[in-house]
Structure 1
Amino acid sequence: MALNKPYLDLPGTTIFDAEQSRKGYWLNQFCMSLMKADNRARFKADERAYLDEWAMSEEQKQAVLDRDLNRCIALGGNIYFLAKIGATDGKSFQQMAGSMTGMSEEEYRDMMLGGGRSAEGNRYLGEDGDAQPQHQPQGKSKGSN
């Protein structure tokens, strides 16, 4: 049974819900393994071999190898777990967030200190009356006729 997910109408936003959690389970478990020094050393010694020990999709593995954190999120990664990859690489959370927005660490910091991104153009996809939500709910939600 598909649930009504009105939050799928937020441009540029991936909500980490139960579906995303299931999709990214092994990706996030891999990230958590990096909390142990021995695992970080094994990963840094041969990233591909270490990733192949995990039941992740090839697309997830490639996103990690590419350090494409936005893609990792789209594939079920949770930013708090993905931060372990950045820490393994010696990057701060601020550096990671900057890379995810296409900004330098300094540009990202300055934007956040200046109040963050403008909400203009970052509301609902359907707000302008012409745009349609990217994801249409399928089926009926519980309690509907």
Structure 2
Amino acid sequence: MTGARDDYLLDLSASRRGYALNKMCLSFKEERNRQRFSADEAAYCDEFGLSPEQKKAILDRDWTGMLELGGSIFYTYKLAMLDGKSMQHLGGVFTGMTAEEFAAALRSGGRNFG
């Protein structure tokens, strides 16, 4: 499922498809939920009724796959923060760059990421 793209549209259909995934990631705003997830990631995914593909994307940290499965970057970033990943890291993943290359592209004012 991985690959560099820049056209992840979170429309109504994708939002419905990603509801459980996004709801789970939103739950990470509470410390106790972050701790529960960290203790048993698979079981925590099961509590939210993720599809098998969504669960695999979460457990594998397949950031692109999460978006393809209806994840919103605003919610999946909460998971990335648990892993100590920056928004620049995710931007790099989504554009096929390293975090440093992505940050440099941003600093240069670029909207040309690839």
**Quick one: distance in 1 between partners of 2:106 and 2:28?**
28
Distance 1:57 1:18, change over 3 A: same
Task: Report the counterpart of residue 77 of structure 1 in structure 2.
Answer: 71
Task: Extract structure 1 runs of 4+ deviating beyond 3 A.
Answer: none
Q: In the TM superposition, what is the alpha-carbon distance from 1:21 to its structure 2 partner?
A: 0.6
**Quick one: distance in 1 between partners of 2:84 and 2:6?**
27
List runs of 5+ in structure 1 lacking aligned partners. 1-10, 120-145
Task: Report the counterpart of residue 29 of structure 1 in structure 2.
Answer: 23
Residues 3-82 of structure 1 mapped to structure 2, 5 A cutoff? 12-82=6-76
**TM-score of the two chains, using structure 1 as the length reference:** 0.69
Aligned alpha-carbon RMSD (Å): 1.7
Aligned-pair identity in percent equals 42
Higher relative contact order (CA 8 A, sep 6+): 1
1:88-144 C-alpha deviation (Å, 9 max, x unpaired): 11222112222333322111111222313268xxxxxxxxxxxxxxxxxxxxxxxxx
More helix by share: 2
Aligned length: 109
1:117 to 2:112 alignment: yes
Task: Report the counterpart of residue 84 of structure 2 in structure 1.
Answer: 90
